[in-house]
């Protein structure tokens, strides 16, 4: 990973011995809240925290920031572990913030004893209404002057379940006139009787993020706490908590820009809404920007890591074009996967002068095809060819458009890896749709065995009809589209299902195997959908098309 501003800060800290870092390993963490599946924004944070630790020979923890009962669930805990590992990272320790609840409670009592926290009886509305504005100071709570003993007793009663949610909170005693709103006596603890996924009903009070997070970091010996930009204004509070507790060698919080990508959303709350409303097939729907969705879509960990590395880290939020993400997966797959012939919207072609078979059906011959244009190491395969084949619907036009060089009546094209054929006649169904094309081939044009003296402009692919394998293919648009006001809304028309014909070897595709479907794009076998496939057909998801209008900057 290139040096970035975060690494520059760390270098400075190491050089100056500031925060007591000399001799201490650099320690980072990735701290998701287990209230949903991880998305590609999290992948950016994961890559950054893990590779930073790696760069300095340090360590990185996976820590579940599970201080919010009610919204959190073990399903999410498990999916997060799976996703981090799948991305290619292994944590030093697996931690749960909830394992520190005793210690956090003790820290809160310590703040009370130091006169730095008090129990407030005001409602959430009252607290909000007395916070003041950016231009005017807030008003102090009537309970701000409570004595230490009374505060300790009330806080203990809160812990023991004597109060309902919202009846009382613990607040830091800082400065109601601070220009930073986060410093105006922020709430540190609240009452909640919700069941916690880890601690059950043991607790009736739960720490707020701004209080819990610095303590979690400090307990684990984190040296650099990397988080997104929205926490920049919270940094004084992060530092205040640890200063007030006189924590030695406290961690340093460094913020970086959140990842946003066009045509999708990156908020667990919004993504969960799509799942709960049944608008997508689940957290791993191939249109979702979740790691699980991208995995099912056929993205590789290498492609996602390369994307995260190339977008880099900065201090200003910006939106990355989704085509850059697509470029990264195409770039990763192009030399890795083999090509197969698959015909979409099939049109049957009968080669009338090709020898018909005997009693056993059509006489097939076998032609050799390269498995990859990009990577000769992927070798060759043989593919059957015969009198009846299918070609793509798009490769035929009864009345050709300008500059259309593929099949149309009277025109000759090259069948990739086989012969030149000329279209002589279009046979139609009674409803006027195309039934089949009658063509003739030139036996002297077999690929690799010398070319005749004439040129053809179009080369198309094909699949021999009697051995063709029927498959189902899902193609995807973007999750979100812009509405009239320019805002994103879910696009319900972002999936298309197609029945296609593939060359016979596609029958042997393994679960999760990826291919390039020649001239179409990259596809992955979807084992879940194949298992549920009514006719037993293999089902494929489109990973990405072949071409993009996206160009690297300056090219």
Catalog residues that contact Mg ion under the rule CB under 5 A: 33
If one asks whether residue 197 binds ligand ATP (CB under 6 A), the answer comes out as no
Q: Is 17 helix (H, G, I), strand (E, B) or coil?
A: coil
Nearer to ligand ATP, 42 or 387 (CB): 42
d(CA 174, CA 152): 18
**DSSP letters spanning 29-57:** EE---SSS--BHHHHHHHHHHHHHHHHTT
Residue 31 near which of ligand ATP, Mg ion, none (CB within 5-8 Å, type-dependent) = ligand ATP
Tell me the closest approach of the beta carbon of residue 268 to ligand ATP, in angstroms. 3
CB 46 within 8 A of CB 4: no
Residue 41 near which of Mg ion, ligand ATP, none (CB within 5-8 Å, type-dependent) = ligand ATP
Nearer to ligand ATP, 68 or 192 (CB): 68
Tell me the closest approach of the beta carbon of residue 316 to Mg ion, in angstroms. 21
Residue 538 near which of Mg ion, ligand ATP, none (CB within 5-8 Å, type-dependent) = none
Q: Are strands 380-385 and 365-370 parallel, antiparallel or unpaired?
A: antiparallel
Residue 293 near which of Mg ion, ligand ATP, none (CB within 5-8 Å, type-dependent) = none
Residue 103 DSSP class = H
Tell me the closest approach of the beta carbon of residue 166 to ligand ATP, in angstroms. 23
Q: Which stretch binds ligand ATP (CB under 6 A): 6-14, 29-37, 140-148, 286-294?
A: 29-37
CB 212 within 8 A of CB 65: yes
Nearer to ligand ATP, 268 or 514 (CB): 268
Phi, psi of 95 (to 5 degrees): -125, 155
What does the block give as tokens for 426? 């279009």
Window 256-295: contact mask with ligand ATP (x via CB under 6 A): --xx------xxx---------------------------
Phi, psi of 431 (to 5 degrees): -80, 5
What does the block give as tokens for 524? 């992955």
- Point out the catalytic residue in the list 54, 71, 258, 470: 258
Tell me the closest approach of the beta carbon of residue 61 to ligand ATP, in angstroms. 12
Nearer to Mg ion, 74 or 424 (CB): 74
Tell me the closest approach of the beta carbon of residue 247 to ligand ATP, in angstroms. 20
Q: Which residues does 31 contact at the CB level (< 8 Å), separation at least 6?
A: 63, 64, 65, 97, 213, 216, 227
With vertex at residue 100, the alpha carbon angle to CA 98 and CA 103, rounded to the nearest 5 degrees, is 140
CB 290 within 8 A of CB 5: no
Phi, psi of 379 (to 5 degrees): 75, -155
326 part of the active site: no
Residue 45 near which of Mg ion, ligand ATP, none (CB within 5-8 Å, type-dependent) = ligand ATP
What does the block give as tokens for 9? 């800060």
If one asks whether residue 47 binds ligand ATP (CB under 6 A), the answer comes out as no
Q: In the set 27, 32, 326, 354, which binds ligand ATP (CB under 6 A)? A: 32
- Point out the catalytic residue in the list 33, 323, 370, 374: 33
How many residues line the site for ligand ATP (CB under 6 A)? 14
Nearer to ligand ATP, 137 or 273 (CB): 273
Nearer to ligand ATP, 68 or 339 (CB): 68
d(CA 119, CA 288): 43
454 part of the active site: no
Alpha carbon 497 to chain centroid, angstroms:
22
Q: Which stretch binds ligand ATP (CB under 6 A): 26-34, 310-318, 450-458, 522-530?
A: 26-34
If one asks whether residue 251 binds ligand ATP (CB under 6 A), the answer comes out as no
d(CA 117, CA 22): 33
Q: In the set 6, 13, 28, 41, which binds ligand ATP (CB under 6 A)? A: 41
What does the block give as tokens for 192? 């909640």
Nearer to ligand ATP, 268 or 446 (CB): 268
Q: How many Cα atoms within 13 Å fall on the side-chain side of residue 178? A: 16
- Point out the catalytic residue in the list 63, 168, 268, 387: 268
What does the block give as tokens for 300? 């590789």
Buried b (16+ CB within 10 A) or exposed e, 285-321: bbbbbbbbbbbbbbbbbbbbbbbbbebebeeeeeebe
252 part of the active site: no
Nearer to Mg ion, 32 or 384 (CB): 32
Residue 237 near which of Mg ion, ligand ATP, none (CB within 5-8 Å, type-dependent) = none
If one asks whether residue 77 binds ligand ATP (CB under 6 A), the answer comes out as no
What does the block give as tokens for 118? 């008090």
What does the block give as tokens for 488? 């994103």
Please, which residues bridge with residue 488 across strands?
A: 482
If one asks whether residue 31 binds ligand ATP (CB under 6 A), the answer comes out as yes
Q: Are strands 338-340 and 514-517 parallel, antiparallel or unpaired?
A: parallel
Nearer to ligand ATP, 42 or 171 (CB): 42
If one asks whether residue 227 binds ligand ATP (CB under 6 A), the answer comes out as yes
If one asks whether residue 42 binds ligand ATP (CB under 6 A), the answer comes out as yes
Binding site for ligand ATP (CB under 6 A): 31-33, 41-42, 44-45, 227-228, 258-259, 266-268
Q: Which residues are catalytic?
A: 33, 258, 268
């Amino acid at each position: 990973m290139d040096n970035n501003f975060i690494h520059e800060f760390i270098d400075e800290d190491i050089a100056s011995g500031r925060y007591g870092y000399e001799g201490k390993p650099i320690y980072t963490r990735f701290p998701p809240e287990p209230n949903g599946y991880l998305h590609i924004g999290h992948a950016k944070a994961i890559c950054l925290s893990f590779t930073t630790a790696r760069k300095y020979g340090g360590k990185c923890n996976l820590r579940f920031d599970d201080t919010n009962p009610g919204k959190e669930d073990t399903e999410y805990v498990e999916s997060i572990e799976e996703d981090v590992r799948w991305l290619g990272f292994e944590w030093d320790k697996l931690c749960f913030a909830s394992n520190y609840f005793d210690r956090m409670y003790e820290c809160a009592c310590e703040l009370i004893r130091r006169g730095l926290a008090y129990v407030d009886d005001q409602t959430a509305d009252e607290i909000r209404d007395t916070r003041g504005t950016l231009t005017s100071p807030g008003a102090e709570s009537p309970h701000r002057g409570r004595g230490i003993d009374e505060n300790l007793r009330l806080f203990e009663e809160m812990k023991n379940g004597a109060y309902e949610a919202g009846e009382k909170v613990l607040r830091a005693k800082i400065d109601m006139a601070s220009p930073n709103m986060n410093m105006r006596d922020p709430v540190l603890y609240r009452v909640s009787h919700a069941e916690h996924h880890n601690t059950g009903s043991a607790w009736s009070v739960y720490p707020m993020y701004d209080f819990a997070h610095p303590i979690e970091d400090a307990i684990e010996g984190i040296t650099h706490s990397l988080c997104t930009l929205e926490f920049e204004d919270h940094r004084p509070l992060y530092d205040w908590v640890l200063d007030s507790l006189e924590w030695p060698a406290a961690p340093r919080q460094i913020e970086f820009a959140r990842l946003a990508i066009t045509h999708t959303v990156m908020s667990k709350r919004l993504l969960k809404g799509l799942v709960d409303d049944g608008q997508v097939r689940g957290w791993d729907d191939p249109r979702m920007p979740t790691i699980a969705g991208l995995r099912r879509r056929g993205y590789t960990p290498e492609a996602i890591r390369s994307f995260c590395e190339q977008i880099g880290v900065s201090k200003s939020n910006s939106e990355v074009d989704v085509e850059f993400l697509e470029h990264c997966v195409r770039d990763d797959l192009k030399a890795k996967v083999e090509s197969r012939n698959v015909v979409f919207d099939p049109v049957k072609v009968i080669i009338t002068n090709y020898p018909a078979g005997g009693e056993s059906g059509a006489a097939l011959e076998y032609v050799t095809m390269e498995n990859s244009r990009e990577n000769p190491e992927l070798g060759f395969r043989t593919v059957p060819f015969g009198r009846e084949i299918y070609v793509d619907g798009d490769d035929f036009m009864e009345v050709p458009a300008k500059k259309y060089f593929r099949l149309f009546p009277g025109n000759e094209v090259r069948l990739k890896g086989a012969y030149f054929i000329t279209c002589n006649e279009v046979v139609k169904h009674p409803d006027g749709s195309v039934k089949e094309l009658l063509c003739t081939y030139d036996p002297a044009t077999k690929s690799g065995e010398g070319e005749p003296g004439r040129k053809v402009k179009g080369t198309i692919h094909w699949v021999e009809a009697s051995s063709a394998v029927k498959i189902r293919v899902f193609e995807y648009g973007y999750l979100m589209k812009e509405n009239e006001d320019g805002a994103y809304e879910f696009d319900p028309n972002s999936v298309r299902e197609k029945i296609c014909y593939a060359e016979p070897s596609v029958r042997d595709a393994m679960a999760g195997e990826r291919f390039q479907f020649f001239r179409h794009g990259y596809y992955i076998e979807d084992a879940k959908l194949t298992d549920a496939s009514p006719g037993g057909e293999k089902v494929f998801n489109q990973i990405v098309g072949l071409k993009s209008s996206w160009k690297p900057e300056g090219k």
